[in-house]
RNA sequence: GGAGAAAUGGCAGAGUGGUCGAAUGCGGCAGUCUUGAAAACUGUUGAGGGUCACACCUCCGGGGGUUCGAAUCCCUCUUUCUCCGCCA
């Protein structure tokens, strides 16, 4: 959520910047500024009314105390009108404030200057590429065929138990998955991230805090009986650790990592692009989250990108990094780098990580602040990234590491797996 | 799930209808003293709105109510603790 004060002061700049998202925010922002003025006018009127009745009440109290009940009762009669007035002003105020809040929730984050213009993923800007794309046999298989051949993932079983998009990992497939999680967490903790185990169900306030609500309500599974949401990413519970928190400057940087299953409804997409592990309703992911001083958040973003790079380098997977264009940039992000691994057998790139700086957008919703050198509270910056999302990494390994003898496990994972080939 | 108790500032803990944004202690910050530190002493120390700055307003778990006036009384929700039951 954008800060009201910033909207007030830099309306035109914001409108211009949001054009990169192909959004004409002018009507929205004009309305916000108007409502804000209205809000403040009402607030002032209400405050004055309350001040007056506070004063009267005190006088009445004094009169009663000094035994002048008669005079007190006279004053009492005068309070009726004030009471009515403050009631109606209060109602009006909360209506306006509510409307203002709703509008603010509709405004996406301001894209960073680096964000390229564009309308779709076609316009994302490739900024880095590394790793050799292997030459595979002509009879190389996509990962879902390999999963069947080596009996390591059973998609039909998942359909039976739950439905499409909930695979069952078996034997060495399950072990490889567990190895990846352990490896990722070890890499992250070695880089200074503290491991956290967090709830997989979150309340409504947490959903609002990180921006999943109200914009993307339909993407989350909702538990109606208890009004809780299954997390779509560890970002939600981990970042919400800092909801309503005021940090001291010397607590920066905060670096957390956590492994969680993630649940996404992702309705409406079918076909080859969602086959196998390409898109699931439940998948595993290891996430990194940082809370930073605003002056350092972009340095931190670069650091996170380098960190994810180092993991992919160790896994020896061919990957590229994209800077998301305005049309593809998430609602809450100011700048996002997507990592994609090349799936040789499918001959396409698969997104395996998304690293973003949200600047103060989430912090404003979270009320995540720090005390600056003058003792004033300021909004902190939040960032997060996947390191990494499991299913597509798994798909990349299966497809790129397939040999006539079986799937050759990347060296760095062998100590975690206890085997070096799936055959 | 049943019975009871409780929720106050960073923490501990007073405050049961009026001058309470809230005693006191600890912690934090600043100063005095000291070569420096500790101790001691003095001062200061919640958040948000609003204002050029003041004034002023709101907030004592959340929401609602009673009252001229609520941290204090009533209703409701949530959470925590104790006892009982059930259970990984």
Q: Where are the domains of chain A?
A: 4-105, 121-422
Residue bearing tokens 């009940």 = A69
Task: Please give residues of chain A from 197 to 256 whose alpha-adjacent beta carbon (CB) lies under 7 Å from any atom of strand B.
Answer: 246
Topology alike, domains A4-105 and A121-422: no
Predicted pLDDT at A268: 57
Nucleotide nearest to A39 (CA to C1'): B49
pLDDT band at residue A234 under the 50/70/90 scheme: very high
How does the average pLDDT of chain A come out, rounded?
A: 92
Asked whether strand B has any atom less than 7 Å from the CB of A403, the reply is no
Predicted pLDDT at A274: 73
Asked whether strand B has any atom less than 7 Å from the CB of A378, the reply is no
pLDDT at A269 over 80: no
Asked whether strand B has any atom less than 7 Å from the CB of A172, the reply is no
What's the CA A124/C1' B29 distance, rounded, in angstroms? 49
Can you name the residues that pair with A356 across neighbouring β-strands?
A: A336, A384
A174-218: per-residue pLDDT in tens? 999 999 999 999 999 999 999 999 999 998 889 999 988 887 778
Interface confidence: ipTM more than 0.85: yes
Asked whether strand B has any atom less than 7 Å from the CB of A100, the reply is no
What's the CA A226/C1' B1 distance, rounded, in angstroms? 17
Nucleotide nearest to A73 (CA to C1'): B68
- Arithmetic mean of pLDDT, A75-99: 87
Provide the 10 A C-beta neighbour count for residue A229. 23
Query: Selecting from 3.10.180.10, 1.20.1420.30, 3.40.50.300, 3.30.930.10, what CATH number does the domain A121-422 have?
Result: 3.30.930.10
Q: A4-105 has which fold? A: Helix Hairpins (1.10.287)
In A319-352, which positions are buried (b, 16+ CB within 10 angstroms) versus exposed (e)?
A: bbbbbbbbbbbbbbbbbbbbbbbbbbbbeebbbb
Q: How far apart are CA A13 and CA A21, in angstroms?
A: 14
Closest residue to B29 by CA to C1' distance? A375
């Amino acid at each position: 959520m954008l800060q009201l004060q910033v909207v007030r002061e830099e309306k035109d700049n914001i409108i211009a910047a949001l054009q990169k998202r192909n959004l004409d925010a002018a009507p929205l922002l004009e309305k916000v500024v108007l409502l804000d003025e209205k809000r403040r006018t009402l607030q002032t009127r209400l405050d004055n009314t309350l001040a007056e009745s506070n004063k009267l009440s005190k006088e009445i109290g004094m009169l009663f105390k000094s035994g002048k009940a008669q005079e007190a009762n006279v004053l009492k009669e005068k309070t009726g009108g004030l009471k009515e007035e403050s009631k109606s002003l209060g109602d009006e105020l909360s209506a306006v404030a509510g409307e203002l809040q709703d509008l603010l929730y509709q405004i996406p984050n301001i894209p960073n200057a680096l964000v390229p213009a564009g309308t779709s993923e076609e316009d994302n800007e490739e900024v880095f590429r590394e790793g050799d794309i292997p030459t595979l046999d002509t009879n190389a298989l996509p990962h879902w065929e390999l999963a069947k051949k080596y009996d390591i993932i059973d998609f039909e079983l998942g359909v039976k138990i739950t439905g499409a998009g909930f695979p069952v990992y078996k034997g060495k497939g399950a072990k490889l998955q567990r190895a990846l999680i352990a490896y990722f967490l070890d890499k992250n903790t070695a880089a200074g991230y503290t491991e956290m185990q967090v709830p997989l169900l979150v309340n409504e306030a947490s959903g609002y805090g990180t921006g999943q609500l109200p914009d993307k309500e339909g993407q989350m599974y909702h538990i109606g009986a208890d009004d809780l949401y299954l997390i779509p990413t560890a970002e939600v519970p981990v970042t919400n650790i800092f909801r309503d928190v005021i940090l001291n400057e010397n607590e920066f940087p905060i670096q957390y990592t956590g492994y969680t299953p993630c649940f996404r409804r992702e309705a409406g997409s079918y076909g080859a692009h969602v086959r196998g592990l390409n898109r699931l309703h439940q998948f595993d992911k290891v996430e990194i989250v940082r809370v930073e001083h605003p002056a350092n958040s972009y340095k931190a973003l670069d650091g996170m990108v380098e960190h994810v790079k180092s993991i992919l380098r160790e896994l020896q997977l061919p990957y590229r990094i994209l800077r998301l264009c305005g049309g593809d940039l998430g609602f809450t992000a100011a700048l996002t780098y997507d990592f994609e691994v090349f799936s040789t057998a499918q001959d396409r790139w698969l997104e395996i990580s998304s690293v973003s700086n949200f600047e103060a957008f989430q912090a404003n919703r979270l009320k995540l602040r720090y005390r600056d050198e003058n003792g004033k509270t300021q909004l902190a910056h939040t960032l997060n990234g996947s390191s990494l999302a499991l299913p597509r990494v798994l798909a990349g390994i299966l497809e790129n590491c397939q040999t006539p003898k079986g799937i050759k496990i990347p060296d760095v994972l062998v100590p975690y797996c206890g085997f070096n080939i799936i055959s």
